[in-house]
């Protein structure tokens, strides 16, 4: 079966067409600037990418252009839309309603709408993508795959905040966690590569990209993760602050005379390694600046790695030990120096990194020494493939 995987943002839409039998990507691409002007970058497998500037007043127009390209006589990879057997949609927040992926129907759409309060920037955009596909591909089964679902196995002690209980009961204020599709996929692959039985394993996944989170996966189930009610909690990220003393918000609002909306925007978009370094949110730029002797860039990189290592240490306590630590996402897959610095704190667990094996980018492999008690691994994430697999399993 051919599965179209859709990841819809407020002004963008990423897609992949995947053959579920061979798991090959037949085509992939990105629509940008939806509602502004519109640009489609389409890459059919084995061919050069094509950039098309075309008006995309809304997401339906964007999906329509994608379908045109997929079936195009020259750039297309299928003859007709009837070849698409199912569509898998990434949905950011499933609240407590969704502990696994579901086939989309009217009730599911209503429930995703009800979770929009918890992810006001993401869920409405995901719903627009679902509705656009339903309009253009009537009758094709669609599946919602939630970023939060994998973490629904967290026990209460991990997801409750130290707040009055009524906020949990009235508003669902608790820790949910995100990047679940990635944590699920990477923990399973890590177990396979490390030769562990997933049902008897203690794996920490470090998903470190522009957004970043760590998870503790015990016997294949998430028992803790660093993101919370929203993706702002936890690690220092590209532009997000991660954990801070909540009293800082009032303190800075008062000193700077700014509203708490402005402050939240600063915490989400102007903080993290970007705000700390004053250089960039991109680790390539940070590495370059540090190499040139920029002290703030060096301090930022050290603080980033230290925070990740502290979470790994905490999860060793949560699971009473660790068998493997897996690195994934943009930084985790591509930065040997970040992996090395994080692992430099983990010797007490019995983890020793192998500098030669670690000196790679974007390939699946063990990066610890042969005699390392705890394995370190590099596992490139593949959220689209994971979504396609879930979709096929449900339809």
**Contact at 8 Å (CB) between 201 and 220?**
yes
The piece of 74-82, 148-156, 165-173, 204-212 that touches ligand AMP (CB under 6 A) is 204-212
Task: Verify binding: residue 334, ligand AMP, rule CB under 6 A.
Answer: yes
The piece of 102-110, 186-194, 291-299, 327-335 that touches ligand AMP (CB under 6 A) is 327-335
- Reply yes or no on whether 147 is catalytic: yes
Select 112 or 301, whichever has its Cβ closest to ligand AMP. Answer: 301
Helix (H/G/I), strand (E/B), else coil: 286:
helix
**Contact at 8 Å (CB) between 6 and 90?**
yes
Tell which residue, 333, 344, 270, 352, has the closest CA to residue 305.
Answer: 344
Select 305 or 331, whichever has its Cβ closest to ligand AMP. Answer: 331
* Residue choice 34, 154, 331, 387 for contact with ligand AMP (CB under 6 A): 331
Q: Least distance to ligand AMP from the beta carbon of 31, Å?
A: 17
Select 95 or 177, whichever has its Cβ closest to ligand AMP. Answer: 177
Select 159 or 283, whichever has its Cβ closest to ligand AMP. Answer: 283
Tell which residue, 180, 139, 132, 78, has the closest CA to residue 390.
Answer: 180
Select 282 or 364, whichever has its Cβ closest to ligand AMP. Answer: 282
Pick the catalytic residue from 19, 37, 147, 371.
147
**Contact at 8 Å (CB) between 368 and 374?**
yes
Q: Least distance to ligand AMP from the beta carbon of 229, Å?
A: 21
DSSP code per residue over 108-139: HHHHHHHGGGG-TTTHHHHHHHHHHHHHHSTT
* Residue choice 305, 329, 377, 386 for contact with ligand AMP (CB under 6 A): 329
**Distance separating alpha carbons of residues 139 and 131, to the nearest angstrom:** 12
Task: Verify binding: residue 335, ligand AMP, rule CB under 6 A.
Answer: yes
Q: Least distance to ligand AMP from the beta carbon of 136, Å?
A: 28
Which pair of tokens denotes residue 174? 């608790």
Instruction: Say how many CA atoms lie within 13 Å of 259 toward its Cβ.
Output: 3
Which pair of tokens denotes residue 10? 């407020």
Task: Verify binding: residue 330, ligand AMP, rule CB under 6 A.
Answer: yes
**Contact at 8 Å (CB) between 2 and 83?**
yes
Which pair of tokens denotes residue 167? 């906020």
Q: Least distance to ligand AMP from the beta carbon of 204, Å?
A: 18
Q: Least distance to ligand AMP from the beta carbon of 90, Å?
A: 14
The piece of 50-58, 127-135, 323-331, 367-375 that touches ligand AMP (CB under 6 A) is 323-331
Q: How many residues contact ligand AMP, by CB under 6 A?
A: 13
Task: Verify binding: residue 75, ligand AMP, rule CB under 6 A.
Answer: no
Task: Verify binding: residue 358, ligand AMP, rule CB under 6 A.
Answer: no
Element containing residue 42 per DSSP (H, E):
strand 39-44
Q: Least distance to ligand AMP from the beta carbon of 334, Å?
A: 3
**Distance separating alpha carbons of residues 267 and 277, to the nearest angstrom:** 14
Task: Verify binding: residue 209, ligand AMP, rule CB under 6 A.
Answer: yes
Select 159 or 178, whichever has its Cβ closest to ligand AMP. Answer: 178
**Cβ-proximal residues to 273 (8 Å cutoff; 6+ apart), any chain:** 236, 237, 238, 239, 280, 281, 283, 286, 300, 301, 304
Q: Least distance to ligand AMP from the beta carbon of 74, Å?
A: 30
Of 275-304, binders to ligand AMP (CB under 6 A) are 281-284
* Residue choice 38, 231, 238, 242 for contact with ligand AMP (CB under 6 A): 238
**Contact at 8 Å (CB) between 304 and 236?**
yes
47: left (phi over 0), alpha (psi -120 to 50) or beta: beta
Strand-by-strand arrangement of the 324-328 sheet? 221-225, 212-218, 202-208, 324-328, 375-378, 365-366
Task: Verify binding: residue 242, ligand AMP, rule CB under 6 A.
Answer: no
**Distance separating alpha carbons of residues 298 and 315, to the nearest angstrom:** 26
Q: Least distance to ligand AMP from the beta carbon of 283, Å?
A: 4
The piece of 9-17, 136-144, 249-257, 324-332 that touches ligand AMP (CB under 6 A) is 324-332
Closest-approach residue to ligand AMP (CB): 330
* Catalytic residue IDs: 147
* Interface contacts to ligand AMP, rule CB under 6 A: 209-211, 238, 281-284, 329-331, 334-335
């Amino acid at each position: 079966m051919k599965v179209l995987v859709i990841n819809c943002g407020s002004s963008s839409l990423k897609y992949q067409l995947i053959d579920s039998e061979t798991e090959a990507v037949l085509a992939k691409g990105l629509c940008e600037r939806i509602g502004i002007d519109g640009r489609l970058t389409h890459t059919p497998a084995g061919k050069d990418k094509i950039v098309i500037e075309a008006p995309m007043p809304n997401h339906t127009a964007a999906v329509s252009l994608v379908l045109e390209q997929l079936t195009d006589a020259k750039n297309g990879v299928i003859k007709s839309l009837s070849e698409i057997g199912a569509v898998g949609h990434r949905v950011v927040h499933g609240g407590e309603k969704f502990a696994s992926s579901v086939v989309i129907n009217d009730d599911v759409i209503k429930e995703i709408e009800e979770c929009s309060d918890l992810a006001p920037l993401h869920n409405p955009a995901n719903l627009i993508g679902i509705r656009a596909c339903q309009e253009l591909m009537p009758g094709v089964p669609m599946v919602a795959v939630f970023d939060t679902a994998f973490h629904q196995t967290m026990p209460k002690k991990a997801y409750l905040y130290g707040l009055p209980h009524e906020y949990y009961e009235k508003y669902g204020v608790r820790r949910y966690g995100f990047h679940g599709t990635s944590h699920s996929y990477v923990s399973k692959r890590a177990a396979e590569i490390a030769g562990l039985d997933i049902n008897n394993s203690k794996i920490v996944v470090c998903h470190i990209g522009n957004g970043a989170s760590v998870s503790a996966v015990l016997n294949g189930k998430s028992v803790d993760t660093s993101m919370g009610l929203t993706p702002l909690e936890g690690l220092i990220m590209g532009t997000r602050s991660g954990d801070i003393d909540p009293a800082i918000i009032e303190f800075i609002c008062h000193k700077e005379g700014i509203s708490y909306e402005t402050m939240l925007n600063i915490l989400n978009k102007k903080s993290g390694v970007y705000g700390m370094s004053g250089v960039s949110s991109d680790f390539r730029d940070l590495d370059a600046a540090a190499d040139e002797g920029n002290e703030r860039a060096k301090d930022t990189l050290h603080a980033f790695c230290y925070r990740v290592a502290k979470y790994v240490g905490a999860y060793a306590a949560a699971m009473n030990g660790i068998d493997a630590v897996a690195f994934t996402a943009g930084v985790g897959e591509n930065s040997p120096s970040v992996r090395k610095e994080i692992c430099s704190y983990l010797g007490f667990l019995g983890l020793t990194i192998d500098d030669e094996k670690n000196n790679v980018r974007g390939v699946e492999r063990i990066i610890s020494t042969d005699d390392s008690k705890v394995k370190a691994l590099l596992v490139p994430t593949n959220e689209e493939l994971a979504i396609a697999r879930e979709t096929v399993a449900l339809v």
